[in-house]
Each structure stands twice: as C-alpha cells, then as structure tokens.
Amino acid sequence: LFAELDKKDVFIESLVLNAADQGLGQEIFESPLSDMTTVINTNVLWNYCLSEQAALRMKEKGGGSIVFVNSNTAYRAIPNRISYVTSKGAQLGMMRGLALGLGQYNIRVNAVLPGMIRTDRWEKNPEFYAKVPSRFTPLGDVANGEDVADAVWYFAEHARNTTGAELVLDGGNTIQLYPIIKE
C-alpha cells in the first residue's frame, strides 16, 4: 500500500485507523485461540504496521497525525467480547507508546473512543436498540457517524499540541456505574 502511494508521490499527513474485528460471540471455554489471535492481529498488529509505515513518511516530511478509532470498551467490558475488549485496551497502550516515541518527530498520536453508534443497524432494529442498556446515556442519546468524524477531525487537523490523548464519545456512559433506565 505505502509503496504504491510512494510511487504516486502521495503523502498521508493524517492516518485514521478505523478497521476493527469485533470478535462477536467469542466465549471463553468455547472459542479457539485462533479467534482471539485474529482479533488481536487486526486490531493491534495491523494497526501497528500501518502506523509504522505512515510514521516513517511523516518523519521525513516533518510531522503528521495518527488517530485510532478505539472504543469505550477499552475501559468497560461487554459480554462475549473478550478478544475485542482485550484488543482495544492493548491499542490504547500502543497509542500512548507511539505518542511518546513519535512526538520528537512532530507526529501526534491520539484516540477517539466511541460508545454505541447510531447506524443503519439501529434504524433497522428499533425494538432491539430500544432496550440496549448502553443507549441510556446521561445525555439521553448516542453518537452518530458525524460525531465520530468530528472527533477524528479535531485530532487530525486541530489538536496541534495534543498527543497521547483520548476523547471518549459515548454520551457519558463511561462515567456511570450502571445506566439509569427510565421507562
């Protein structure tokens, strides 16, 4: 990928790492170890590889920005998603390590941590999402794609003196011990 971009003289000033394997339905005692390694490879190792290649080029050009789209599950576990939760915690550790190591090259590394996001899945399954506990945020709403994009844009283009930071985008879910469900 980067060799092709180099041939075309394309410089990636901001790298946004959004791909993720959610590790759906993985349960201890039932799922093979290979399921976990697949999630870790996608969410941690491949993001490291992309970060390393982008950072090499950013270093040569005098700086840049790497933004991880992480998850509030880095701090709050959800059922049957051990691999995903593990990978998101590891990804935050990697983000901090990269921020520390790359700061000297004017490369900023930050993370956006969304909670539940209103997508077309939400619109197609209103009965299910009406009862999902994570939808009961202190703000009374969940983020949409534009909210996540705005947070990424802030880190990529406007947070000139910010590195190693996290921006939680979950309507306040992370601050509450349990959701207050008013029916």
By annotation, the residues acting in catalysis are 71, 84, 88
Cα–Cα distance between 162 and 140 in angstroms, integer? 29
The strand pair at 166-169 and 107-114 is best described as: parallel
Q: Is 17 left (phi over 0), alpha (psi -120 to 50) or beta?
A: beta
Query: First-to-last CA distance in the chain?
Result: 51
55 contacts: CB under 8 Å, gap ≥ 6: 64, 66, 98, 102, 105, 107
Cα–Cα distance between 74 and 89 in angstroms, integer? 4
182 contacts: CB under 8 Å, gap ≥ 6: 136
Alpha helices in the chain (DSSP H): 2-7, 33-40, 46-61, 82-102, 120-124, 126-130, 145-153
